[in-house]
Amino acid sequence: MAKNQTLKLDFTKREVTGTGACRKIRSKNLIPVVLYGPDYRNGLPGTVSAKIITPLANSPRRETTLVELAISDGTAANALIRDVQRHPLTRAIRHIDLYQVVKGHKIKVEIPVRVLNAELSKGVKEGGLLAQKTRMLTVEVQPSEIPEEFTVDAQSLEMGAEVFVKDIEVPEGVTVLNDPDALVFHIAAVRSSVEEPAAEGEEETAEVEVVAKGKAAKEEE
Topology (CATH) of 7-101? Ribosomal Protein L25; Chain P (2.40.240)
Residue 34's closest CA among 20, 13, 51? 13
Query: Given this model, what pLDDT does residue 200 score?
Result: 52
- pLDDT of the chain along its 221 residues, tens only? 455 678 999 999 998 888 888 999 999 999 999 999 989 989 999 999 999 999 999 998 888 899 999 999 999 999 999 999 999 999 999 999 999 998 888 888 999 999 999 999 999 999 999 999 999 999 999 888 888 899 999 999 999 999 999 999 999 999 999 999 999 999 998 875 554 555 554 444 444 444 444 444 444 44
Please tell me the pTM assigned to this model: 0.68
Q: Please report, for the chain, how many H helices and E strands are present, in that order.
A: 4, 13
Give me the residues paired with residue 76 across strands.
Answer: 70
Q: Round to whole Å and give the CA distance between 98 and 110.
A: 16
> With contact defined as beta carbons under 8 Å apart, do 61 and 114 qualify?
no
Query: Given this model, what pLDDT does residue 193 score?
Result: 53
Counted residue by residue, the chain has a size of 221
Give me the residues paired with residue 194 across strands.
Answer: none
Which CATH number is 107-189 given? 2.170.120.20
The residue ranges of every structural domain in the chain are 7-101, 107-189
